[in-house]
Structure 1
Amino acid sequence: MKKRFVKINDCCIGDKVALDVITETGAVIVTEGTVLNEFIINKLRNLGINNIHIYSESENLDRSNIAFENLSKEYSKNVDTVKNIIGDLALGKKLDYGVISNIADDIKLEMENKDNVIKFLSTFKAYDEYTYNHSLNVAFYSMLLGKWLGLREDVITELTKAAVMHDLGKAKIPEEILNKKGPLTQKEFEIMKKHAQYGYEIAKQDTRISLEVLKGILMHHENEDGSGYPLKIKGDKINLFAKIISICDVYDALTQERVYKGRMTPFDAFKIIELDGYTKFDTKILLTFLHNIASYYIGMQVILSDGRAGEIVYVTPQNVSYPIVKVGDELIDLMNRKDLRIVSLLN
């Protein structure tokens, strides 16, 4: 895919951004893959952005659609693989670490179209396969967050493997609890909490799996304030992989369709995560996640709480929960319109 470095005044509505647009302070204000609209072009001008990278005209919608279809096929294949892995573990078979490595490699390749990946995860519906989809989704988000944090490629690869395996211990949880069509009782939740320890014990049997990966699996439900499990540790005692996976784990759990609850929009999820996330998550990692992922929803079609359809035209990094939505010729800043909210994203 060819890229061109052009003046902002030469950009046209419909051009696709080829590289993240970053301010002097390092904040991502428009992500790669974003389709330019009038609002974004004017916003970039006002921020003093004079030049950006865009894809050449040969980068067209057909290619984007083909990439989306290929992503869907690869995703479904890897979900089936995760399902088979957990099924085999439930039968007492050993973990096939080579297959885990193959899934991590596939995710790395698919991340070349990361704008499609995030939009796909936000609209894909498969709540009956939640346990398996969730493992894969968390791996996608964790790889992205690792990149946003500036981790080395070899570290990101290990992080991705830990994320794929973070819920392996659920293979040892009784099916009536794992597949319950509703919230768990306190007793059931205490049993479910054991999955982190179980996953660690499964993975440590393979000597090829690094200590950092093992800690990521064991600690992914630990909280910064010590309120997590199973070790109830806090702060710097929590492994970096676990800190990353925990944020991605909660975000995906909130935004995925379940049998007993509907999908929450990313923006409602941002509000919930911000509400108590600063005591449970590492603040630097959390802010990196929120500020980067929010901008990927620019250009998505949405339905507002008053029934009108619109398009997200901008997400302010400082107020990720309240994007600016264009409905017809009207620009609605949801930060100033608390009577309105986004109720769903459209494919």
Structure 2
Amino acid sequence: MIKFKSILMMLITSIGLSGAAVAMGNYATAHAASTDNVYDLSEWQGKLSDNKAKKLSSEVPFVILRVQYGTRHYDKTFNHNKAMIEKYGVPYGVYSYSRYTSKSSAASEARDLYYRAPNAKFYVNDFESTYLSRSAARAATLQWVQTLRPLVGNKKILFYSYQSFMKAYAKSALSAYDGYWLAAYTKHEPSVSHVLWQYTDRYYSAALNKKVDASKMRTDQSWFIGDVATPSSNNNITAVSTPTEPTQTTTSTSTTDSNNTTSGIPAIQNMDKTMTISSNATQNIYGDNQATLPVDTTINYQGMQVAVVAQSKYNGKTYYLATSIYSGNRIGWIASDAFNK
């Protein structure tokens, strides 16, 4: 899904790697675009123009946009490309190239993906490399989907990887996902159950006038982008997090354990705007791992701009969930009085 794959392809051709190379063989398609071909796009493919986005609307049933590389790198083209395809009515799902190193970082990456793309039709965990042990990777991969599930309701959540990696590092967690997006650049389609098959990174898109990653749907289009129910606020898995004051106890919430849902949390309203923090503001930043665990940090922001992705109210005070507009790094929940109005 990223430039890494093109580099890997060259390595495979020159030195004949084993393992992942078996699945990443050089197989390109030459036939014309068809309605079951889906493209995944990131900053490596550049920004969409009006003309390209318009042509995409008749070339593909939907696209899948990269939102982030881990949580620290926010895809440089996501906001622009999202606006373009929304303008021309192209449905889209989103994916996060996962870099989590623990259950807690997996949860953070999942939450970031949702808050950065709350209107996506479906969500994908692209997990294809790790330094974790197999058991730790499986636990973190399960935590990723468990964290995202209460946020997205009945929207589909997919797992993406090549088959050997999935079996080694995510197999036991796979059943918690709605479907498997298989990466296998092979001439013959693997028999493992999957809903999408990414079979090449060299499919020529007439709309984009370049070669791109392409996948074939193995279930109906409506399964991916059909009508979905409103997310439930009471699921027995990790809760949507909210800001709290460091000196107060959250009396309106009840937590069964550290991994289960916190009920009675304030409503979160999705946003998509840029705001400037007051030049002299010194404000506490509140974390969102659990409703009762604030981040013990105070920062002088010195007039920086941030992307605001959500807002919530707690005890009559408004808080904004802010991320860096440059790196995509999560800053945290910040009180409204820190911002220039």
Common topology (TM > 0.5): no
TM-score (norm 1): 0.24
- Superposition TM-score, scaled by structure 2 size: 0.24
Which of the pair is proportionally richer in helix?
1
